[in-house]
Chain A
Amino acid sequence: MTDRAEPIPRPQRTSLRVPDLKPLQPKSLQPWLARLTPWLLPLAILVVWQAASRLGFIAANVLPAPSDVLAAGWRLTLNGQLAENIGVSFKRAISGFLLGGSLAFALGLFNGLSKTSERVTDTTIQMVRNIPNLALIPLVILWFGIEEEAKLFLTSLGVFFPIYINTFHGVRTVDSQLVEMGRSYGMSNLELFRRVILPGALPSIFVGVRYALGIMWLTLIVAETIAANSGIGYMAMNAREFMLVDVVVLAIVIYAALGKLADSVVRLLERLCLSWHPAFQKH
């Protein structure tokens, strides 16, 4: 075999011009525009609503124009009723949240950490949890009348369960491998709680808090419309008696604003406390 092997034909080298590839990401919005985007839809609704009212598509005694609602707000601000009622409702919401929330947090931690404590209390809590707290309103009125205790009782009860369940769940699902690591490095029980268990349970606790805030406003609105002589809910019910539709709508708008405010505060807290979490890291 002296024949030279036939040379393998080389593939023709064609010059491939790679086009300049632009990154696939869409152009990111300007920061100020990105911040504004969530508000565009509510703003558009307001504009349409205002136009529809002014053009007579919506009767004023069914749904007043946004400008009328604003005017009602200004009127009530001037005579001091608005500030007073918001203050009263806010105080009720906060005190109910603090009372119910702190009890729930403590019990959630306790039951999460101790099997004995869980065995004693958890079944009872689960039974009570399944009673809608608003079903207790007649009983609460019998007990407390329309005093402050009635609202405090109902809101704390409403806030209690989401915080309890999520705290309990958070503590229980802390990575047992991390707990073992902490022990093997000689952490005391207190240190283990502070450095491993509590931070591990925190994301779940925040879920509970945000959920509880929703229930807090819901319970308070219902309680105030049925059994109160002050507060935003009372203001709305009172306005209904006098057919002041603008004040009723104003009350609803205020509830929406307060709810959004509470949620924003918790989101801010979340960002501060959970900055280690991949879901909260800036890119």
Chain B
Amino acid sequence: MTTATLATTTSAPGARLFEALFEDQSAKARAARGQPIAIRGLKKRFGELEVLRGIDLDVPAGQFLAIVGRSGCGKSTLLRILAGLDKPSEGTLSLSQAGTASATPRIMFQEPRLLPWARVLSNVEVGLGAERKLPEAEERAFQTLRAVGLEAKAQQWPALLSGGQRQRVALARALVSRPRVLALDEPLGALDALTRIEMQGLLERVWLAQGFTAILVTHDVSEALTLADRVVMIDEGRITLDIAVDLPRPRRRGSVDLALLEERILKDLIPEDANPPEYAI
């Protein structure tokens, strides 16, 4: 009895989301909404330091791609270039145009980056960019806020929300313009373990419903495997591994298939040290 009630309440915001906003669910429709990305010979240098040393990557429309790697491997730089925050030193990046929907990729950061002096609803409206002046702007912002289950907090100050709620507002802000590409820079990195799992579920449902192309940068391999269609590993500025994750969704945490894949990726990620340091005091 209790569990049943609990299940209904937790899934309620997600369920409403799809009825209200994003009806297209088929893979075909998803490909139509997302945007393919093509990267050729991409390099990025900061002074002497070459962070990206020639990346070639094709992301089909609507794919959920996860990029994993150790800190400092260049994965965040790649994402920032993708989102238009940095310019590549060499090579090309093309987000091919199709249809009329918003072409600017949206990015979600590890920190929510909400304006502390704006109410939750106007923070979501920031995501509309130039469309903020349209008459239906507020209604759209409110609908998106409802989609992440925070419509009750619309007039609240961000300082009064919990970390997970703030990140949900940031997600609503990224989604309100119905982006065709969403870049996620470790968006769940600062959340506690339980909130993380909830947010992973929300991200997956939103992606399934909206069908954008999603690029998730993370250092958490199991998170990448829970969410992504494909996992790419970057090491010292190059792609060193590219595997498809062909498992049915929603994926069961701790299933054998996931564990095997995780082990394989971790093996590549953590090099076998020939001489591990002796522990001695």
A residues with a Cβ closer than 8 A to B are: 177-178, 180-187, 195-196, 199-200, 202, 274-278, 281
Contacts and interface: CB of A to CB of B under 8 A. Distances in A.
B85 A184 contact: yes
Given A199-B115, A281-B159, A184 B130 contact: no
Given A276-B116, A277-B117, 7 more contacts: A180-B85, A181-B126, A182-B126, A185-B127, A185-B173, A276-B118, A278-B159
Contact of A186 (B109, B117, B129): B129
B157 interface: yes
B113 interface: yes
B157 A281 contact: yes
A275 B157 CA distance: 9
Q: Give the most central of A182, A186, A187, A275: most B CB within 10 Å.
A: A186
Given A276-B159, A281-B159, A184 B115 contact: no
A178 B115 contact: yes
Contacts of B157: 275-276, 281
B113 A177 contact: yes
A186 B118 contact: no
A187 B125 CA distance: 12
A181 B117 contact: no
Contacts of A277: 116-117, 159
Contact of A184 (B107, B116, B158): B107
A202 B115 CA distance: 13
Interface string B100-116: 00001011010101011
A178 B113 contact: yes
A274 B160 CA distance: 14
Contacts of A182: 126
Contacts of B113: 177-178, 180-181
Contact of B115 (A183, A186, A196, A278): A196
Contacts of A178: 113, 115
A196 B113 CA distance: 11
Interface centre among B111, B117, B126, B173 (most CB of A within 10 A): B117
B47 to A, nearest CB: 20
A187 B113 CA distance: 15
Contact of B126 (A177, A185, A199, A274): A185
A144 B81 CA distance: 61
A195 B122 CA distance: 11
B246 to A, nearest CB: 33
B93 interface: no
Nearest to A196: B115
A278 B115 CA distance: 13
Contacts, number: 50
Residue from A185, A187, A199, A274 whose CB has the most chain B CB atoms within 10 Å: A185
Nearest to B127: A185
B87 to A, nearest CB: 13
B224 interface: no
A136 B155 CA distance: 52
B83 interface: yes
A181 B159 contact: no
14 contacts: A177-B109, A178-B115, A180-B113, A181-B109, A181-B126, A184-B84, A185-B129, A186-B104, A195-B126, A196-B115, A200-B117, A276-B158, A277-B117, A277-B159
Nearest to B111: A177
Contacts of B118: 195, 276
A196 B157 CA distance: 15
A218 to B, nearest CB: 32
Interface string B142-178: 0000000000000001111000000000000100000
Name which of A180, A274, A276 has the most chain B CB atoms within 10 A of its CB. Answer: A276
Interface in B116-139: 116-118, 126-127, 129-130
Given A180-B85, A184-B83, A186-B104, A276 B117 contact: yes
Contacts of B109: 177, 181
B140 to A, nearest CB: 15
Nearest to B119: A276
A277 B116 CA distance: 7
A44 B126 CA distance: 54
B214 to A, nearest CB: 17
A184 B105 CA distance: 9
Contacts of B104: 186
A195 B107 contact: no
Contacts of B127: 185
A177 B107 CA distance: 13
A73 B193 CA distance: 69
A180 to B, nearest CB: 7
Nearest to A202: B117
